Amino acid sequence: MPWLLAITRNRLADGGRQWARRAANEVLVDEVPVTFADDRTNSEQERQFDSEDLRTAMRDLPHRQRDAVEMLKLREMSLKEAAAESGMSVGSLKVAVHRVSRRFVRLW
């Protein structure tokens, strides 16, 4: 019986701690704000790119990064196929594409 009571006491304490953590992070509001998709939404943050912007950005990339993006994203080759054709490892291809994506995010 003491063993069963100890388990019950510990379970109640765990439940109380869980409730307190959850209650500390909840925010009660009367009305939930709703956002709707609109043509004007995020108009300042978004920028439309044309094919010339893409050509310029691709031309400015280092050779290995440009090759990785062309094979994996434009020609839609698998990592194995691109690695075999380029002589780069699969990891190197992943890193090259990741660096390009980070670079483009900073540019635009």
Say what the pTM is: 0.51
Rounded Cα–Cα distance for residues 95 and 65 (Å): 9
User: Which range has highest mean pLDDT (22-31, 64-73, 99-108)?
Assistant: 64-73
Name the H helices within 26-62. 51-59
Architecture of domain 51-107 in this structure: Orthogonal Bundle (1.10)
Rounded Cα–Cα distance for residues 32 and 49 (Å): 35
User: Where are the domains positioned within the chain?
Assistant: 51-107
- pLDDT at site 12: 95
The tokens for 80 are: 């194995």
Amino acid at site 82: A
pLDDT tens digits, 95-106: 999 998 888 775
